[in-house]
């Protein structure tokens, strides 16, 4: 099967080069790969020698959408793709295993009716405790409805692959009005409502190199909560889910940490995410800046998870 690898990007030049190098390390016939890079706004980087050396040996094309918005880039890439399998990767990701593409192809062959098959994010040894915390939150969220049959709408946009013919038959595209906050879940729930099968395979991992600051973590929590409220999509966090899966989350934190001190720091940042998410659910019009300002008073303290009944 031929893969079309669609990479939406916006001025993450060095990480894009790392991603292309990870594609070149795949145990897969390069003649069966098509790289479609879609940049938000014109970018002269793709004329430079540094990019062309990184892309050497790959069949690649660069397209431009003239405004910001990852969903606009994704939709253009989907329309330009020629391959049977259409893989979406973010520009801050890298393929973890050299067998990733062959494994992904095998899953698609095994599940002929699946429109989408997605995997999870992993962190490498350079990830900070803050990045590890967000990865644990993401993994817990993806695993909430995973009980062995792999069916799930909780697929991330930086590690998901579609059978192009089945996707086009559905007539569905990403909602370009959603800038951030549950955009992938909204799309996959729409596919599910049309009877399309979407699968989550936890072992299909890619490295996600987020390099988050505290305000970035809070912003993600706020926008994901607002996406949940505005578009009635699958919830990314809830008190009920936390009670049910708290042990799993702490196990993820323990697996990700290298020292006891780092474990406690990861838990600290996970609790901050939960607090920001729940605060936003109670105050839907709040801005990320306002939530971040309120979160500063937790600095240096052990964060406690608020109940949905407690307004701060």
Rounded to 5 degrees, what are φ and ψ at 61?
Answer: -140, 150
Confidence band, pLDDT 50/70/90 cuts, at residue 306: very low
Residues 150-165: what's their mean pLDDT?
92
Is 160's pLDDT higher than 70?
A: yes
Confidence band, pLDDT 50/70/90 cuts, at residue 41: confident
Confidence band, pLDDT 50/70/90 cuts, at residue 230: confident
Residues 237-245: what's their mean pLDDT?
52
pLDDT digits (tens, 9 = 90+) for 109-148: 999 999 999 999 999 999 999 999 999 998 888 876 555 5
Average pLDDT of the residues of the chain = 87
Note the pLDDT of residue 200: 93
Q: What percent of the chain shows pLDDT beyond 70? A: 88
pLDDT digits (tens, 9 = 90+) for 246-272: 567 788 899 999 999 999 999 999 999
Burial of 149 (C-beta count, 10 Å sphere; 0-12/13-18/19+): exposed
Report the DSSP beta bridge partners of residue 207: 94, 122
Place of tokens 């930086």: 158
Note the pLDDT of residue 45: 87
Q: What percent of the chain shows pLDDT beyond 90? A: 66
Do the beta carbons of residue 1 and residue 108 sit within 8 Å?
Answer: yes
Confidence band, pLDDT 50/70/90 cuts, at residue 309: very low
Note the pLDDT of residue 310: 31
Note the pLDDT of residue 298: 60
Residues 6 or more apart whose CB falls under 8 angstroms from that of 107 comprise: 114, 117, 199, 201, 204
Do the beta carbons of residue 128 and residue 24 sit within 8 Å?
Answer: no
**Top-confidence residue, 236 or 140:** 140
Q: Using DSSP bridges, classify how beta strands 159-163 and 114-122 pair: parallel, antiparallel or unpaired.
A: antiparallel
**Top-confidence residue, 41 or 310:** 41
Report in angstroms the alpha-carbon separations of 128 from 8, 88, 97, 256. Answer: 25, 25, 21, 10
Q: Minimum mean pLDDT among 37-46, 178-187, 259-268, 272-281: which range? A: 178-187
pLDDT digits (tens, 9 = 90+) for 192-207: 999 999 999 989 999 9
Virtual CA dihedral for 137, 140, 144, 149, nearest 10 degrees?
140
Confidence band, pLDDT 50/70/90 cuts, at residue 287: very high
CA distance linking residue 240 with residue 208, whole number of Å = 27
Note the pLDDT of residue 243: 54
Residues 231-246: what's their mean pLDDT?
57
């Amino acid at each position: 099967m031929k893969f079309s690898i669609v990479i939406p990007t916006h001025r993450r030049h060095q990480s894009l080069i790392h991603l292309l190098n990870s594609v070149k390390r795949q145990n897969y016939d390069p003649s069966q790969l098509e790289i479609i890079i879609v940049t938000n706004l014109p970018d002269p980087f793709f004329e430079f020698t540094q990019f062309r050396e990184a892309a050497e040996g790959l069949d690649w094309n660069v397209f431009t959408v003239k405004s910001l918005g990852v969903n606009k880039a994704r939709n253009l890439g989907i329309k330009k793709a020629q391959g049977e399998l259409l893989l979406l990767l973010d520009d801050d990701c890298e393929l973890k295993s050299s067998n990733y593409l062959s494994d992904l192809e095998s899953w698609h062959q095994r599940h002929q009716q699946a429109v989408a098959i997605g995997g999870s994010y992993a962190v490498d040894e350079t990830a900070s405790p803050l990045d590890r915390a967000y990865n644990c939150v993401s993994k817990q969220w993806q695993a909430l409805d995973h009980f062995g049959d792999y069916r799930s709408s909780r697929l991330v946009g930086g590690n998901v692959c579609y059978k192009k013919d089945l996707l086009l038959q559905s007539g569905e595209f990403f909602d370009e009005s959603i800038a951030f906050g549950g955009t992938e879940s909204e799309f996959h729930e729409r596919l599910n409502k049309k009877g399309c099968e979407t699968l989550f395979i936890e072992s299909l991992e890619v490295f996600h190199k987020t390099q988050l600051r505290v305000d970035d973590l809070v912003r993600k929590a706020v926008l994901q909560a607002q996406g949940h409220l505005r578009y009635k999509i699958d919830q990314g966090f809830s008190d009920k889910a936390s009670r049910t899966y708290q042990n799993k989350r702490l196990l993820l934190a323990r697996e990700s940490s290298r020292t006891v001190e780092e474990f406690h720091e990861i838990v600290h940042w996970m609790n901050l995410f939960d607090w920001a998410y729940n605060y936003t659910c109670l105050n839907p019009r709040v801005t990320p800046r306002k939530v971040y300002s309120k979160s500063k008073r937790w600095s240096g303290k052990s964060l406690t998870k608020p109940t949905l009944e407690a307004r701060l």
